[in-house]
Amino acid sequence: MLNKPNKIAGLAAGLMIAAMPAAGKGMLEQAYSDAWKDAKSVQYAEPTPRELSAAQRLFVRLLRGESAQAVASEAQGMGWEVHSHIIGPATWSIISEKSDQRKGRGLFAFSNRGRHALQAPHVPSDGLTGQILLKYARDGLPRALAWNTVPRRTADLAHLDATYLIAFSQAFAQVHPSEKILQLHGFDGDKRRSSAAAESEAIISAGHKNPSSELKHAVQCMKRKVEEETRLYGVDVLELGGTTNSIVRAMRRSGYEGFVHVELAMSLREDLAENSGQRRAMFECLGGTQ
C-alpha cells in the first residue's frame, strides 16, 4: 500500500494530468503555444548521455502504450510536464518542459493509436510545419509527434549530434521498426541553385542519393495524389536531400531505414495546413500505405 505522502503525490499528478482547457485551445495546442512563449530567451542546454538515455526509455514506455499517468512521476522528476488529452478517437500523452526548467529539449506527443511519427525540427523558420503537425494530431493519423522548442539559430536540432529529437527517433525505431519517421521542412524555391529544385513543390529524400524502390513508389504516389511537382532527391534533384541531417545519420547507424526527409514549398505547406484530405494523402503515400 502507498504511504500517505506518496498517495498525495499520486493524486496531485493525476489532477495535473487530467487538467485540460474547457474550451478554445486543446491541451496539445496549448502546450505548443506555451513551448514557444518567449522562446528566444531560452538558453539551450546540451543534454548529457545519461539524460538522453532516460528520455529514450521514457519515450519507449509511451510508445509501447503506457499511459501519461503511469509515467508522470518519473517524467516530472526529469523536468517534464505530462498531460493527457483526447482528440477525436485518440488519447494523446503530451510531454513538455516545465515552465521553470526550459532548456530547448522539445515538445513530444504520443497517441494510443495511429501509425508513423512526424517531426518538425525547424519551427518557426520553416513556416507552418509546426501547425501541420498539430493538424495531423486532430486527423488522428500519427502515432507520435515531435517539435523543436528553440529557434534554429539558437540550436539546430537537425544538425546537432546529441538531442532529445534523436532520442525520440531512436525510441520510435525501437518500438515500431517497420513504420516511418517523416521529418517536415520548408524551403524557398527562389533561393535554390537548380531549376529542378526551384520548380519543386516537394522534395523527398532518404538522406542519401540512392533511394529505395519503396521511396520511388511513394514519390509517384505523391505526384498522383498530392502534388504533381514532387521530386525525388538523387533522381530528379540534387538539392535539399538532408544528407547532413544528424537524425538521418543516427538512424542509419542504428540500422533503421524508415526515415523520410520531406521538403515542402510554402504553397504546399499552406494547402496541407488547410486540407485534411491532402494531409491524409501525403501521410499515406509517404507511409507506404497507398
Best CA proximity match to 74, nearest among 86, 60, 87: 60
Q: Quick one: pLDDT at residue 290?
A: 58
Q: Quick one: pLDDT at residue 17?
A: 44
| Helix residue ranges per DSSP H, the chain | 4-18, 27-35, 49-63, 68-77, 129-139, 164-175, 195-198, 213-225, 246-253, 266-274, 276-287
Distance CA 231, CA 77 (A): 45
pLDDT per position in the chain (290 positions), as tens? 334 344 333 333 333 443 444 334 689 999 999 999 999 999 999 999 999 999 999 999 999 999 999 999 999 999 999 999 998 889 999 999 999 999 999 999 999 999 999 999 999 999 999 999 999 999 999 999 999 999 999 999 999 999 999 999 999 999 999 999 999 999 988 889 899 888 999 999 999 999 999 999 999 999 999 999 999 999 999 999 999 999 999 999 999 999 999 999 999 999 999 999 999 999 999 998 75
Q: Quick one: pLDDT at residue 2?
A: 37
- Cell (9 digits) for 135: 493538424
Distance CA 65, CA 82 (A): 15
**Which amino acid, 140?**
G
- Max Cα-Cα span within the chain: 68
CB environment 14-52: b (16+ within 10 A), e (fewer): eebbeeeeeeeebbbbbbbebbbeebeebebeebeeebb
Domains of the chain: 44-287 (3.40.630)
Q: Quick one: pLDDT at residue 196?
A: 82
**How many residues are given for the chain?**
290
Q: Look up cell 506555451; give the residue.
A: 34
- Cell (9 digits) for 212: 529505395
Distance CA 137, CA 99 (A): 23
Distance CA 102, CA 80 (A): 9
